[in-house]
Amino acid sequence: MRSLFILIVVQLLFIQCTSDIRDNSMDPIATTVPVTGLKAPVEFQVLRVPDHFTKADFSTHRQADFKGITSPDCNMVTSSQIQYYHPDNLPARFLCFFPEPDTLINGVASFTLDGTQDIIYSPVAYAGSLYAPNPDFGYSFNHELSRLNVTVTLSQDMDMTEDFVLLSAEVLTYNKLQLQLGGPLAGQLKVAGDAKKVLIPLRDDIGSITRNIRLSKNPEDCGSVYAYAGENPVLVLKIQGKTGIFTREVSIPSLKPGKDYRVEVTGDVQNVLFKASLSDWTQGDPGEAEL
């Protein structure tokens, strides 16, 4: 009987200790918080800094801890998994980026660029601690690539029997990029060591690759592409004319990350020369697609 009494006491103590730990660890961090800087809803990757780390170190991560789901108006983001404050009042810190990387090693996210989506990054956001939650907790994004919307126009009148057809429009740029997530270089995008320059096709608003566009004196919309702004990309046009098929490379002026540009390419029919001009792409302009 005495042994049974001791066992019951021990079990009660264990249950009480477990309950205390559970009570202290079940203080949730705000699930839905504000987000700024987004142009379209995304489902981004979220990393949590290990609570006992004194610095924003992500070297132990091999994958995201959970995902952030943006509201349709791009003003709020909701965590895919509930997060809790550490019971010892340690700080809770999070970092976000998009899209999902090829690899996440030593605090560096690696991506293969295909021109269909931007790379965006939000610095470490402080959610506070158990006894001092941060009421201003939220995420603010920076855009790392430039978006180009390309139109091609012929500068001279053509004989009606002369046809110029744009067979393809592509941007020559690097195919592999790396995003530094922590340390003094956090948010910096760079070319990966094994990157090569590849041709990335322009696509229209529904994702179809640009091809077989009949050129004229009216601006022809060739679609858009996200490009790395660190080195000026080159636009490559493959055109079919009366004398056959020819390719022209057109240099694009300097770009800034996070900006949308309208690239207007003008073709000189007699000399078969093409040149490009660059201007800001104002969202919502008549005839222009919104991002």
C-alpha distances (whole Å) from 117 to each of 39, 257, 268, 291 are 12, 13, 32, 11
Kindly state whether residue 286 falls inside one of the protein's structural domains: no
Domain identity same for 254 and 158: yes
Which tens digits make up the pLDDT trace of 171-204?
999 999 999 999 999 999 999 999 999 999 999 8
Read off the pLDDT band of 23 (50, 70, 90): very low
pLDDT of 5 = 42
Read off the pLDDT band of 269 (50, 70, 90): low
pLDDT of 90 = 96
Show the tokens assigned to 171: 């941007």
Domain identity same for 165 and 108: no
Residues 6 or more apart from 17 whose CB is under 8 A from it?
Answer: none
Contact at 8 Å (CB) between 129 and 123? Answer: no
Identify the domain containing residue 150 by its residue range: 146-174+197-280
What CATH number did the domain enclosing 267 receive? 2.60.40
pLDDT of 33 = 97
* Stretch 56-66: mean pLDDT: 95
d(CA 232, CA 235): 10
Best-predicted range by mean pLDDT among 2-11, 39-48, 148-157? 39-48
Kindly state whether residue 251 falls inside one of the protein's structural domains: yes
Read off the pLDDT band of 288 (50, 70, 90): very low
How many domains does the chain contain in total? 2
Kindly state whether residue 192 falls inside one of the protein's structural domains: no
Kindly state whether residue 182 falls inside one of the protein's structural domains: no
pLDDT over 80 at 252, yes or no: yes
pLDDT of 273 = 62
Domain identity same for 42 and 11: yes
Q: Which of left, alpha, beta for 78 (phi over 0: left; psi -120 to 50: alpha)? A: beta
Kindly state whether residue 90 falls inside one of the protein's structural domains: yes
